[in-house]
Amino acid sequence: MTIESTLGVTRVAQTTTDGDQSSYVDWPAIIAGIVLASAISVVFISFGSAIGLNFLDFNAREAASPIFVAIAAASWFLWVQVSSFMAGGYLTGRLRRRFHDATEHESDVRDGAHGLLVWAGAVVVGTVLAVSGIGAAVNTAGAALSTATVAGSNAAGAAAEATDPNAYFIDTMFRSPQPANSEQARAEAGRIFAQAALGDGAVAEEDRTYLVNVVAANTGLTPEEANARVDQAIGNIEQARQDALETARTARNTGILASFLLAASLLVSGIGAFWAAQKGGNHRDENSVFADVFRRF
């Protein structure tokens, strides 16, 4: 406030500064940084996906090692994520309006805070887009499942019988050396293997003996040949079971590792966005023009 007196007339002039009327948070600069970081991520991740697909080979010759592809993909994703957040943070720091009532240290902190807001905003936007994509995939899968359910309604009765938890125990009461037909024998054999899968995968000795008798009766094989065929079937089923367990174990370990890598990369990206925003603010205050990079023609 200033007071001026001229020819006996007193005038009061009210002067204000931008810092008195404005928030320290410069949202337009933050939004600009989020848009730039998101655009860079989309462009370079798409480019990396195209390169990654080039490593996949559907011909008879051997393709690239899955471990090599995984390491290359993780390294590329980490580089793209960190660099995109740093670019967005730098742009925000460069565009942020500085309030000159702050010290140099306070200005650096505010610039870095704007970089963190760019990082947080881009993470939220990315999460929303990812969830939307998952929701669309779930809806598509639900529609396909509904169609498959209608198409397979004729097999509902057989499926219900196969999943009956008491079917196996009922079979043991009515077992006969020669079932009425091969379909009955197949269904009963399936329930025997299903019951074994509920435990450690081993078929009980009495069930194995029964399977040998049934196979011999329905195929005309000798007891020795039927015994070998049952052993082979049990071995194949056990191998398939072990393969499924190994696949599930690998998927779990991959998911755990991917989650840790994602968290670590996001942490590094946040630090990078904070630092880059401070550098952008310093270049703003120093009026850096990068004449060797951006020339006026």
In a domain, 246, yes or no: no
Regarding whether 180 and 94 lie in a shared domain, the answer is no
In a domain, 121, yes or no: yes
Regarding whether 88 and 137 lie in a shared domain, the answer is yes
Classify the C-alpha dihedral 26-31-37-40 as positive or negative: negative
Mean pLDDT in order along the chain per 10 residues (297 residues): 48 46 81 92 83 58 66 85 93 87 85 93 84 57 50 42 57 57 74 75 80 78 83 82 86 86 89 93 83 57
Regarding whether 129 and 177 lie in a shared domain, the answer is no
Regarding whether 182 and 210 lie in a shared domain, the answer is yes
- How many angstroms separate the CA atoms of 27 and 19, rounded? 15
In a domain, 291, yes or no: no
In a domain, 93, yes or no: yes
Range(s) of the domain holding residue 182: 155-220
Regarding whether 172 and 130 lie in a shared domain, the answer is no
Residue whose structure tokens are 């999943």: 163
Regarding whether 162 and 137 lie in a shared domain, the answer is no
Give the phi and the psi of residue 220 in degrees, each rounded to 5: 80, 10
H helix or E strand, kind and range, residue 125 = helix 104-151
Q: Which of 71, 96, 36 is nearest to 254 (CA)?
A: 71
Residue 216: predicted pLDDT: 79
In a domain, 252, yes or no: no
In a domain, 83, yes or no: yes
pTM above 0.75, yes or no: no
Regarding whether 78 and 133 lie in a shared domain, the answer is yes
How many C-beta atoms surround the C-beta of residue 231 within 10 A? Answer: 14
Q: Which of 117, 105, 113, 116 is nearest to 285 (CA)?
A: 105
H helix or E strand, kind and range, residue 60 = none
Regarding whether 162 and 135 lie in a shared domain, the answer is no
Q: Into how many domains does the chain fold?
A: 2
C-alpha distance from residue 31 to each of 28, 62, 87, 92 (Å): 5, 46, 13, 8
Residue 83: predicted pLDDT: 92
Q: What is the DSSP letter of 6?
A: E
Q: What is the DSSP letter of 12?
A: E
In a domain, 101, yes or no: yes
Q: CB-based burial of residue 284 (10 Å sphere; 0-12 exposed, 13-18 middle, 19+ buried)? A: middle
Regarding whether 114 and 192 lie in a shared domain, the answer is no
Residue 275: predicted pLDDT: 95
Residue 37: predicted pLDDT: 92
Regarding whether 113 and 29 lie in a shared domain, the answer is yes
Residue 295: predicted pLDDT: 60
Regarding whether 30 and 170 lie in a shared domain, the answer is no
How many C-beta atoms surround the C-beta of residue 24 within 10 A? Answer: 14
In a domain, 2, yes or no: no
Regarding whether 173 and 132 lie in a shared domain, the answer is no
How many C-beta atoms surround the C-beta of residue 122 within 10 A? Answer: 25
Which of 165, 188, 220 is where one domain is finished? 220
